[in-house]
Chains A and B, each alone.
Chain A
Amino acid sequence: SQTIHQWPATLVQPVGSPLSLECTVEGTSNPNLYWYRQAAGRGLQLLFYSVGIGQISSEVPQNLSASRPQDRQFILSSKKLLLSDSGFYLCAWTALTSGRDQETQYFGPGTRLLVL
């Protein structure tokens, strides 16, 4: 079965410090991968998605970047964190089946980031 991992689970970082959040998927190959941010009590905002190694699409201009160095690894980074980067970061994956372009996204457990 497929599983998705995120770490760390929680993180407290000072303003201006760098960030690296990691997401890995097991039990599938060539997944689409997604990074979302969720502010407290709010909906989900898509930040980045990737359809393959080295392929990153950015959805909103921001202080963050994403990379996909391996097929099942997705990394969210920042060189200098801002207060507004605080939130709950969720990674998700979906597996494309040939001939179908509608697939459920499955979410990881999330990383709660607090920037002080």
Chain B
Amino acid sequence: GESVGLHLPTLSVQEGDNSIINCAYSNSASDYFIWYKQESGKGPQFIIDIRSNMDKRQGQRVTVLLNKTVKHLSLQIAATQPGDSAVYFCAENRVQGAQKLVFGQGTRLTINP
């Protein structure tokens, strides 16, 4: 379910390293997933999405992996840069036609110089 009241988990990585942010979802009927990046004081920004008929999708320096068997979604960021520091949210579309996304609690990624 939604975790709007929980403190964000954090992840720290060294600049230039790869980072992996994980997200677990609960509804096996969810068929569309999105990753958002939110910088401090700004609205969430779309990064990449994936539909349930795929298990991997790549963008520029980012890759999303979907494992429907264990209901797990991950975002991989290659060669992290200081500008990657932000909170990352996964979101799922649980109900067809309802046009509502359910967001994960978010992970705060910090890039260390």
Contacts and interface: CB of A to CB of B under 8 A. Distances in A.
Nearest to A32: B99
Interface string B91-103: 1010011111101
A43 B99 contact: no
Interface in A23-69: 32, 38-39, 41-46, 49, 51, 59
A35 B98 CA distance: 15
Given A104-B46, A109-B42, A44 B100 contact: no
A102 B8 contact: no
A107 interface: yes
Contacts of A42: 4-8, 105-106
Chain A CB within 10 Å, residue with most, of B6, B43, B106: B43
A42 B101 CA distance: 16
Interface in B37-65: 41-46, 49, 51
A13 to B, nearest CB: 19
Given A46-B100, A49-B99, A108-B43, A102 B6 contact: no
B46 A90 contact: no
B28 interface: no
A43 B106 contact: yes
A51 B99 CA distance: 9
A102 B32 contact: yes
Contact of A43 (B6, B34, B98): B6
10 contacts: A42-B4, A42-B8, A43-B3, A43-B8, A59-B100, A92-B43, A101-B93, A101-B96, A102-B93, A106-B46
